[in-house]
Amino acid sequence: MHDVKALVFDVFGTLVDWRTAIAREAETLLGGVGIVIDGLALADAWRAEYQPAMEEVRAGRLPFMKLDALHRRNLDIVLTAFDAERADEATRHALTLAWHRLDAWPDVAAGLAALRPHYRLAPCSNGHIALMVDLARRNDFPWDAITGAELARDYKPKAIVYQSAADAFDLAPGLTMMVAAHSSDLAGAAAAGLRTAFIARPDEHGPGRGESKPTVPVDIAVDSVIELAHALHGAIRSR
């Protein structure tokens, strides 16, 4: 592990609690136009459209588009399913941008601060650059760069997304570690040649409905970003 020079992070679910924030914003914004809704149910339904929409891009049936565009496309589908079609354009736009206003899990700030003196840090997210910048500014993420889908013009787990993140730092994939709370993401990164670290987020989709352990081989499995920093401490000292 002492050869690793950069850590690249999944963001939605790994670093930020999307479900709580989206539920809160949905109830507030839709309630403002007279639509009473179960925010958590809407957040879950909206997120459930995430991978199918990206698969349309990965398969070439849709051109690459920034995640805001996919989120808006998916929101229109979900509002129809929730009998909330009367939500106006301004409300739909504001709710789409709620993904720019997510809050970090409690361990993230201290964990990234401990890692930054020793590693180059960047998101490797399906979120586009403007979205990643807004989340970084909101949560004080100390990124050295922004990598991910917009840079690669494709979506994870396509190999090009991970490889372009390593290449952005002029590093071979094996000198770069992907950090995520999702086994499928880490499997894609490993197949692209990156090292992998799993962060447990057992409550990402609600209590006990996230991943508490990886289902694929990984280099490191920990319960928080702070624990990741501790786990990598020996590698730092051996450099």
Q: What's the confidence (pLDDT) of residue 230?
A: 95
| pLDDT, tens digit, 9 for 90 and up, residues 128-155 | 999 999 999 999 999 999 999 999 999 9
Q: What is the mean pLDDT of residues 40-53?
A: 97
Q: What is the mean pLDDT of residues 32-45?
A: 97
Q: What's the confidence (pLDDT) of residue 234?
A: 72
Q: Which of 1-5, 74-78, 98-102 comes out lowest in average pLDDT? A: 1-5
Q: What's the confidence (pLDDT) of residue 239?
A: 57
Average pLDDT, the chain: 96
Residues 6 or more apart whose CB falls under 8 angstroms from that of 206 comprise 19, 40, 44
Q: What is the DSSP letter of 98?
A: G
Confidence of residue 42 (pLDDT cuts 50, 70, 90): very high
Q: One-letter amino acid identity for 87?
A: A
Does residue 1 carry a pLDDT above 90? no
Confidence of residue 236 (pLDDT cuts 50, 70, 90): low
Please compute, for residue 141, the number of CA atoms within 13 A of its CA located in the half-sphere on the CB side.
30
Does residue 182 carry a pLDDT above 70? yes
Where do the domains of the chain lie, and which CATH numbers do they carry?
6-17+102-237 (3.40.50.1000), 18-100 (1.10.150.240)
Does residue 2 carry a pLDDT above 90? no
Q: What whole-number distance in Å separates Cα of residue 153 and Cα of residue 164?
A: 10
Q: What is the pTM of this model?
A: 0.95
Nearest 5°: the CA angle 123, 129, 135 is 65
Does residue 105 carry a pLDDT above 90? yes
Q: What whole-number distance in Å separates Cα of residue 204 and Cα of residue 190?
A: 23
**Helix residue spans in 59-158 (DSSP H):** 67-81, 89-96, 108-115, 129-139, 149-152
Q: What is the DSSP letter of 148?
A: E
Backbone angles phi, psi at 150, to 5 degrees: -65, -35
Q: What is the DSSP letter of 99?
A: G
